[in-house]
Chains A and B, each alone.
Chain A
Amino acid sequence: MLNWPIPGGTSAHFVGGAFAGILLGPSLGVLAMTAVVTIQALVFGDGGIIALGGNLFAMAVVDVLVGYAVFRALRGVHETGAAFVAGWGAITVSALAVGVGVGLSSAFAYELGVTVPIMVAGHALLGLIEGAITAAVYGFLANARPDLVLGRFESDSPSPEVGL
């Protein structure tokens, strides 16, 4: 629901899956995003109940896992930079998953050639803002409360209180 406009009549919203993956690790990140996306569908009618599976796959699974993997791969190079690339890359890959998914459906007339470019180009651009927010919040949190960032140190268990 956090939308920002871009010139040309498009806007998109912060998803936050990559941030959840970075902060909570893959399993708890998927769980947290599942709660968010499900509440958006059930309470606010943002994404239907029939589409919930597809939306969860894109925003709670692909977004979280890609963001987590990209961050882990790049954090040795530059920590905040890795958070930016993770936020941007994860939302763009998720958009690709949605573009392919809807492009294969009859409602979208199987027009993969239309849905994939619109989704990927739109989110590759808007993902810059997702990346910026991810990096800014991560940088702030890692600086102020490094104890809240799970997996920041190699010795960290996935979560101190939660056995997974």
Chain B
Amino acid sequence: MNALVSDAWGRRALLALLVLVVLAPVFGWASGAVGYAEPLENAAEATGATDAADPIAPGLLPDYAVPGLAGPLGTLASAAVGTALTLAVALGAGRLLER
């Protein structure tokens, strides 16, 4: 953490992250404004594959939503959970590979 504050690159990296965090709700609003859909979902819609979808195990936090936290807040919390989990898995895998 000290290196992050003392090095010039660390300060710039933190600043860039801060800007992205502040801008995050703008992206959320904009994707809602144009109607959220991915190319794969459009392809599924066009071919009727959407009707074949039958979720049996929706996941712990389906669609990056957290029960009890409204919309963007839940997504934000999911981002923190997902990032922490990914970091933990990557560190674990790294340790195993170092042996």
Q: Which residues of A contact B (CB under 8 A)?
A: 1-13, 31-32, 35-36, 39-46, 48-49, 95, 98-99, 102, 105, 107-109, 111, 114-115, 118-119, 121-123, 126, 140, 143-145, 161-164
Contact = CB atoms under 8 A, between A and B. Distances in A.
Interface of B: 7-9, 12-13, 16, 27, 30-31, 33-40, 42-44, 46-49, 52, 55, 57-64, 75, 78-79, 81-82, 85-86, 89-90, 93-94, 97-98
Contacts, number: 139
B27 A4 contact: yes
A143 B7 CA distance: 13
Contacts of A5: 27, 30-31, 33-34, 36
Contacts of B93: 31, 35
B90 A32 contact: yes
Given A35-B89, A45-B55, A162-B98, A109 B40 contact: no
6 contacts: A39-B89, A45-B58, A109-B48, A115-B46, A118-B46, A161-B98
B64 A162 contact: no
Contacts of B12: 140, 144
Given A35-B90, A107-B52, A144-B13, A45 B59 contact: yes
A4 B52 CA distance: 27
A35 B64 CA distance: 17
B47 A115 contact: yes
